[in-house]
Structure 1
Amino acid sequence: MFGIGRNGAKKHLSSMVNGIRFHLFCSKADELVVHFMVNSLGFSTKEAISTSAKVTRSRLRNYEPLLLLDLFHKIGLNKSQIKTLVSSSPKLLFCDIDTTLKPKIKGLQPLNLSGSDLVTLIEKSDFLRRGLHTSIKPTLDYLRELLGTHDAVAMVLKKEPRLISQNISKVLPPNIALLQNLGFSQIDIANFFQRYPRCLLRNPVCLQRVVHQAEEIFDIPRGSRMFLHGIAALVPLHESTLERKIDIYRSFGWSHSDICTMVRKLPSCFDFIRG
């Protein structure tokens, strides 16, 4: 008498369960789509059903999986990366590839982003929901003008992928003007933005408050090379959080002058303590 063994039995049972689950849920996740996700992208049946069910079947008219794979393979994505994208954005399976997806991907080509960088950019922004000519291209053009080169734009997008989906032509100018009024050159500001992109995405009122803190509380001179680093260190800190961190240093017996000296020399000192 032949047996299939304990491990074999588990695999057989798992296969049966997945098969039953698939037939139970096929009304919610089209069989064709689920099969493609399992056989071509490495999804489990359960993952495929769950992911496919997140998008409406009305978009099935745009379902062209082989064209999608061909496009992603051509731009250097592997099977695992494609699965990651489809997991985070299932509607990729049903987008109009020729009129929507290809032009957007083509718009990113001057940046020479690697496959993993493209995955991160698409996954961590609402790139797929943004219009090419109404949002993506104006954003890239603005960044190119501000930073000077496509390489610099690519670098800043790697740090902050969500930039691609923000209306930065309206968000950045007030903060850039604020730094210009403080005496910083266009090159200074471009370098600052490239290193700390999130800082210039803040509300101008917030940035003005941080500038006041750097100058009035910690006595960091505007002409100091550490001034912008000080702003970058203070921007993420709510006023109450900053005060708690200062209190911790005071509990060590440090005077206000001691703390200011440390901040002027090492603005990132607040990252070393929890508060």
Structure 2
Amino acid sequence: MLKLGYYNNGVKALKFIDSIRHLIFYSTSTSIKSNPYFGNYLIEHLGFSKQLARSTSTKFNQIQCRRIKKVSSSKFVSNADSVLAYLRQNGLNDTHIRIVVSSLPNILVSRIKQTLKPKVDYFMNFGFSKSDFAQVVSINPYVLLNGQFIRAIEALKDVMGCDNHVNIIRIMKKSNWNTTSGLSNNLIPNVAVLRDYGISIELIRDRLLVHPHPFLRRTVIFKDLLVRVEKDLGIPRYSSRFLLGLHLLASFSQNNIESKIKMFESFGWMRSDVMDLIRANPFCLALSEARIKKSLEFLMNDLVYEPAYIASHNVMLGYSLEKRIVPRNKVLLALKEKGLIKMHHSLYTTLLLSEPRFLERYVLPFEEVHEVYAKHTGRSPLQPLTEGGVGDKDGL
């Protein structure tokens, strides 16, 4: 029996640390009340609701209680106005600023030159546009007062290459606090382990750009995951599928994966068949159980494909039944019934074609199947395709 470990503990640990950090800074206290002038400022200058202004004001007072030097109302207003002007100058609109202030109310009393400007200058000098910067801040407001984000970028530069700013920015634009923490603390040692495994830096960079999260686990857990990719999934480290296996184990629990394997077995698959499928394409088990069941019902019951055939033509599991497989199968059957194409044309071959190519080869030349295509796709074959095509493979 396949034995798989549940290794989301790294992410859970990060979330736990983050929650503790919030608890320490923002724990509720009956002895601390909301600050009237602070709350009024949020309502009048940033459009906060009264309820949000009150809760944010309480956070602010809790932080201020730990300061030796208090901030007067007049100095607060002057400093807050300057901070808001500075943030707007660097691309943040009021929506972004509300997100930042509700998370970090003390930013309104921060010093621009000493605290904010060095971090903002780092972003801009690195190559972030103002819109990039605004997106980053709205996802992870703590970058404005914490150096973790900068350390994460430096780690990415070490792995991705110092001249790969575009892709580094792409990764960081989607990074919340947990992602940033994992990048800054775990990325470099984990990549070093992969390099010791013989994994090329090019493969690592490609996967990091698409799915960075498996690389963020604590290194002790990460090493164990790599062992299990070989031992439990049977994917050797020299295989191009090795990092896909890592992603599968890092993303799903033992029970989740085992339940999906049993779904295949309920359709008559031997466990060896399922293992062949996993080794060929680990992401087939990233599909939901409902999706697997629906696909197998059609491929095995309606089309009478054997497990071995599906395992060796596993790309079919990644295509949408409604948008791609069923419409193309109906068109192909109609063409064969009318004698417009030879019987040896396989569905699998047509599934590999892009939508424009499929239309050009199997639909447009034969007016007899235009109605069949329209019925099962909901669109005329003469209708211009939207960008990206129709019925493309789902993201696996």
TM-score by length of 2: 0.55
Task: Find the counterpart in structure 2 of residue 52 from structure 1.
Answer: 57
Deviation at 1:116, TM superposition (A): 6.5
1:174 to 173, 189, 192: 189
Distance in structure 1 (CA, Å) of the matches to 2:189 and 2:274: 31
Would you say 1:144 and 2:157 are equivalent positions? Answer: yes
After superposition, give the CA deviation of every residue in 1:155-213 in whole Å (9 maximum; x if it has no partner).
11123333675274652233212211221122222222222211111133333333333
CA contact (8 A) 2:56 2:102 kept: yes
Q: What aligned pairs does 1:24-173 form with structure 2 within 5 A after superposition?
A: 28-56=33-61, 57=64, 60=71, 63=76, 64-109=79-124, 110-115=126-131, 118-121=134-137, 123-124=139-140, 126-131=142-147, 135-148=148-161, 149-162=164-177, 165-166=180-181, 168=183, 170-173=185-188
Query: Kindly tell me: are residues 145 and 181 of structure 1, through their superposed partners in 2, closer, same or farther at Cα, counting changes over 3 Å?
Result: closer
1:238 to 253, 272, 278: 253
Distance in structure 2 (CA, Å) of the matches to 1:218 and 1:164: 26
Q: What aligned pairs does 1:160-239 form with structure 2 within 5 A after superposition?
A: 160-162=175-177, 165-166=180-181, 168=183, 170-239=185-254
CA contact (8 A) 2:96 2:137 kept: no
Deviation at 1:71, TM superposition (A): 1.1
Q: Which structure 1 residue ranges, 5 or more long, are not aligned?
A: 1-26
Q: Partner amino acid for 2:232?
A: I
CA contact (8 A) 2:96 2:138 kept: no
Q: Which structure 2 residue ranges, 5 or more long, are not aligned?
A: 1-31, 291-396
Query: Kindly tell me: are residues 168 and 50 of structure 1, through their superposed partners in 2, closer, same or farther at Cα, counting changes over 3 Å?
Result: closer
Deviation at 1:114, TM superposition (A): 4.7
Distance in structure 2 (CA, Å) of the matches to 1:207 and 1:173: 12
CA contact (8 A) 1:85 1:119 kept: no
Q: Partner amino acid for 1:42?
A: G
Distance in structure 1 (CA, Å) of the matches to 2:92 and 2:71: 24
Query: Kindly tell me: are residues 46 and 122 of structure 1, through their superposed partners in 2, closer, same or farther at Cα, counting changes over 3 Å?
Result: closer
Distance in structure 2 (CA, Å) of the matches to 1:164 and 1:238: 20
Task: Find the counterpart in structure 2 of residue 6 from structure 1.
Answer: none
Query: Kindly tell me: are residues 121 and 261 of structure 1, through their superposed partners in 2, closer, same or farther at Cα, counting changes over 3 Å?
Result: farther
1 or 2, which has the higher helix percentage?
1
Distance in structure 2 (CA, Å) of the matches to 1:47 and 1:169: 32
After superposition, give the CA deviation of every residue in 1:58-81 in whole Å (9 maximum; x if it has no partner).
553573121112111111111122
Task: Find the counterpart in structure 2 of residue 249 from structure 1.
Answer: 264
User: Alignment RMSD, CA only?
Assistant: 2.8
Distance in structure 1 (CA, Å) of the matches to 2:277 and 2:137: 37
Q: Partner amino acid for 1:153?
A: I
Query: Kindly tell me: are residues 129 and 226 of structure 1, through their superposed partners in 2, closer, same or farther at Cα, counting changes over 3 Å?
Result: same
CA contact (8 A) 2:116 2:145 kept: no
Distance in structure 2 (CA, Å) of the matches to 1:114 and 1:230: 37
CA contact (8 A) 2:158 2:188 kept: no
Query: Kindly tell me: are residues 139 and 80 of structure 1, through their superposed partners in 2, closer, same or farther at Cα, counting changes over 3 Å?
Result: closer
